[in-house]
Structure 1
Amino acid sequence: MRRVVVGVTGTLGSLAALHRAAAKARVRDAELRVVLAWQPPGGELGSRNGLGPSVLAECRTAAVERLREVLDTAFRAAKPGVTLAGLAVRGTLGAALVDSARGVEDLLVVGTGSRAPLRRLLRPSVARYCLAHAACPVLVVRPSPLQIELGAVHRRNFWRIPLDPRELTP
């Protein structure tokens, strides 16, 4: 069976990618596989240093609950109209997505997210990882212009930069 695989985190960008993936799944008559990746506190290295099975079970339970919240937020008003499978996978998001979309007929959908210089240093691009390693086609969903403007407003508020009223006119 053909699949459309999409990674989610709960951000606006991942919700946009999820809706685009649902539309592609309807067109392709494919299963929509929604992947949320999780890691234990401290990453994989931290889990080797004494985290017990109960902590890992709690992390997995929290990831499953987060996946349910994301799906409820995305499809509260209308169901996706396709077969839906949710996966909470332990690991990094890029590797989890590439592993979930192994078929040649699959389609992998990823959002681009914020690519501010500091964020690039701290967190590698999932979209670039998927483009480099996926065995199937990859659809990269860019943020909408409204999402970009919202991010600019959040940054302006964070740094307490005053708003010039002339910027509000088109």
Structure 2
Amino acid sequence: MSESPMAATDRVVVGVSGSPGSLAALGRAADEARLRGAELWPVVAWEAPEGDLAARRFPATSALLPEWERLARERLEGALRDVFGDAGAGLPGQALVVRGAPGPALVRIAGRGGDLLVIGAGGRGRLHRALWPSVSRYCLARAACPVLAVPPSPLHAALTAVHRRNVLRLRLDTRDLEREFEAVPPDAEGRRG
């Protein structure tokens, strides 16, 4: 009897940046790891703010590399705490902090035959897409293993709109919130608050 490709997956590698999309991807990756009996490998990739070339050219910049790595590690630990709480995922695996561009780092790490790469996708505006390369597109185009692109939560667009209104100091329309609270069943009243 031949084994299906899904049963052969022994690692689920997931890109983590701390963004809402990456947190959704981390949760989905944990679900996939449980379903497949695989290890969970959350990965945060980081680069020097001005790139590796600037870090090599300026000694003062290279002195900050350990600090940037520490911040990346804290971002990964925070994301794991946000998704799984203090108890952790309860899955075997290894959390990695890798220096390098996120797309190439994720593709390199998820290079084994039985790997599944999980990434957050979507939720980026036109300006953001024009200025920064898409990690999800890079991974989808270059990964040697299956890639699962997790779309953003439907709440992400609403939260982005509220954030944009706050930044622009525009008045928030609270009528939608009022309608939501009016729609809450009476027995849920005691649980709210």
Alignment TM-score, normalising by the size of structure 2: 0.80
Map of 1:80 onto structure 2? 89
Unmatched 5+ residue regions in structure 1? none
Counterpart of 2:94 in 1: which secondary structure?
strand
Counterpart of 1:150 in 2: which secondary structure?
helix
Map of 1:40 onto structure 2? 48
Tell me which of 110, 115, 125 is aligned to 1:116: 125
Percent identical residues = 52
Question: Aligned partner of 1:71: which letter?
Answer: L
Q: Does 1:147 align with 2:156?
A: yes
Map of 1:101 onto structure 2? 110
The separation in 2 between residues aligned to 1:158 and 1:54, in whole angstroms, is 34
Question: Is the CA contact (8 Å cut-off) linking 2:12 and 2:29 kept in structure 1?
Answer: yes
Tell me which of 27, 30, 34 is aligned to 1:19: 27
Aligned length: 170
Residue 30 and residue 51 in structure 1: after superposition, are their counterparts in 2 closer, same or farther (change >3 A)?
Answer: farther
Q: Deviations along 1:13-69, whole A, 9 cap, x unmatched?
A: 111100000000011111100110111231112112123654222222222222222
Unmatched 5+ residue regions in structure 2? 1-8, 181-193
Counterpart of 1:37 in 2: which secondary structure?
strand
The separation in 1 between residues aligned to 2:163 and 2:174, in whole angstroms, is 17
The separation in 2 between residues aligned to 1:16 and 1:51, in whole angstroms, is 38
Map of 2:143 onto structure 1? 134
Question: Is the CA contact (8 Å cut-off) linking 2:118 and 2:148 kept in structure 1?
Answer: yes
The separation in 1 between residues aligned to 2:162 and 2:13, in whole angstroms, is 31
Tell me the CA shift for residue 102 of structure 1: 0.3
Counterpart of 1:140 in 2: which secondary structure?
strand
Alignment TM-score, normalising by the size of structure 1: 0.89
Question: Is the CA contact (8 Å cut-off) linking 1:36 and 1:67 kept in structure 2?
Answer: yes
Question: Aligned partner of 2:65: which letter?
Answer: L
Q: Does 1:61 align with 2:70?
A: yes
Q: Does 14-23 or 156-165 show the bigger shift?
A: 156-165
Tell me which of 78, 86, 89 is aligned to 2:98: 89
